[in-house]
Structure 1
């Protein structure tokens, strides 16, 4: 799947992302895009307007695109997305791993187990992606507490203390918000990232999270 096809697919299937802001830049506490740490970047990134096909909006990318050892191209938006999604997914694992001992809804327990397995696989891929590009797993300049869909320490503590029907209700509400935040960040990547495989993965992951939100709603937990 080429990059243009990936973005077209995202437009068709992820309409929830259409009005999302540039969350990756916002989470750094600045409206500027984070600069890549690649050795070949000799100057600050310069925004580049990429015209879309007829009927499609133009996209903005960075001029600091660099190549990985496998020949793939990536930029600072790709790096920021991967770093932030590691932290985002790790919080989802904390929430999902509470379900076996605290949830009362059997369907919710099964769904949480699938979420945990899928997001751990993505975390492993993200860490490998950064390692292959000599990038750190986290960036101190990123304010993870303001990530879209991120839950506060107090909210995680409250979920940890809950059980039964109360846990079920809290989990569905919190994980739905968490998934929606991940979809927003995926939309940001699809607009401005450079790595084609990463864009495909972000699209696939966001589509699956739309499905998981629907499945949680279908459980009828009130």
Structure 2
């Protein structure tokens, strides 16, 4: 009788111990996988967010004031240009480049870098290595001449200046495509090259037509 009770007790103790071991193992497993996932995901997303280099920063900090000046030039066309085609082109330039300024400003803020605040047509040296010598940028004298022009003279001056301006943007974007690391910046650079190269061809045709 006593031996039977002893066997029952031993069996019960063994079952209890086994159950406890399984519960502890399960808890330990859940805790391990639960902590690994959260710690892994942020590091992965952080790596993606930080996948940029100095060229990407240079591109954004240079292209923002470059675009700002193009938008300012395009804004003059509404009441100064005589050609409907020039007005249409200027409106397209303004519509395309204003949102790109906002996009690039967002990148710089997310990277913890300075967003250029220089006024278009003024000194653009504010911290950017390219300074006022950025490719295609107009100086104050050129911007003032454009602002004072009207009619056919404005059309000719606008097209001539914007061709040079676009060529500078294409040059900057090409460098970004070659040396940049940030995917969205490379995509924007590619779009700039495609769009502005086509607009250069369009402006050259309009300039020839206007000269004739």
TM-score of the two chains, using structure 2 as the length reference: 0.70
Instruction: Tell me which protein shows more strand as a share of its residues.
Output: 1
Contact 2:56–2:176 (8 Å) recurs in 1: yes
Instruction: Report the equivalent of 2:200.
Output: 213
What displacement does 1:71 show? 1.2
Coordinate RMSD, CA, aligned? 1.6
Question: Stretches of 4+ moved more than 4 A in 1?
Answer: none
Gaps of 5+ in 2: 1-43, 117-125
Instruction: Report the equivalent of 1:125.
Output: 103
Contact 1:87–1:144 (8 Å) recurs in 2: no
Instruction: Report the equivalent of 1:71.
Output: 48
More relative contact order, 1 or 2 (CA 8 Å, 6+ apart):
1
Q: Deviations over 1:54-76 (max 9, x none)?
A: xxxxxxxxxxxxx9847141001
Instruction: Report the equivalent of 1:166.
Output: 153
Instruction: Report the equivalent of 1:175.
Output: 162
**Count of residues in Structure 1 that have an aligned counterpart in Structure 2:** 156
Instruction: Report the equivalent of 1:19.
Output: none
User: How is 1:1-222 mapped onto 2 (pairs within 5 angstroms)?
Assistant: 69=46, 71-72=48-49, 73-138=51-116, 140-219=127-206, 220-222=209-211
CA distance in 2, matches of 1:68, 1:126: 20
Q: How has the CA–CA distance of structure 1 residues 192 and 163 changed in structure 2, closer, same or farther, with 3 Å as cutoff? A: same
What displacement does 1:215 show? 1.5
Moved more, 209-218 or 133-142: 133-142
